[in-house]
Chains A and B, each alone.
Chain A
Amino acid sequence: ILNVEQSPQSLHVQEGDSTNFTCSFPSSNFYALHWYRWETAKSPEALFVMTLNGDEKKKGRISATLNTKEGYSYLYIKGSQPEDSATYLCALRGGADGLTFGKGTHLIIQP
């Protein structure tokens, strides 16, 4: 079982502030790192899939970076809005064909 860690577990951020959180994973046998956004009472929705060391991806105010050599990825949210409140999940494909998810970072944006 691969160990995928996300930190912090939860985060309260003022509206308009920028924030970031971390996904750590074993750097051996890396194939892909996924980020998902999960709103309450909905299903997870994909944000990014990254496969190459040094990858940077951006979607609107959300971006992500990947360091496969040291085994971490950062997710950044610029100028947080109330609609950004959600749980953000990362998932690793390493070695086998299954995905291992972290437990998520629960983000709450305070107006």
Chain B
Amino acid sequence: NAGVTQTPKFQVLKTGQSMTLQCAQDMNHEYMSWYRQDPGMGLRLIHYSVGAGITDQGEVPNGYNVSRSTTEDFPLRLLSAAPSQTSVYFCASSPGPSYEQYFGPGTRLTVT
């Protein structure tokens, strides 16, 4: 089992560029989520999904888009990158939100 994988590990974008952060899991988990981690702010939920075809917004969804076409994959799209989106992004999966979350290794994104 690879667990939860995220690509890329590092990315530098210019303001206004778009990109997709990839997240995949091989544990057949229904629940997947995206968080951003900023100094002094802890982990903040961006979007989550309770199963293929179902997504919902978290605490800080603006500027991000998600879709869940398969159980395994949950990509996060930045539509027009802004410096405020400079952060470390973590993807997590689990059988459900009342089960322990398995986190990916993170993607460090810098927007200049």
Contacts and interface: CB of A to CB of B under 8 A. Distances in A.
A43 B42 contact: no
Contacts of A36: 101
Interface residues of B, number: 25
B58 A43 contact: no
A32 interface: yes
A81 B106 CA distance: 27
B50 A99 contact: no
Contacts of A34: 100-101
A11 interface: no
Interface residues of A, number: 23
Nearest to B106: A43
Interface string B39-62: 011111100101000001011000
Interface in A2-44: 31-32, 34, 36, 43-44
Interface of A: 1, 31-32, 34, 36, 43-46, 49, 51, 89, 91, 93, 96-104
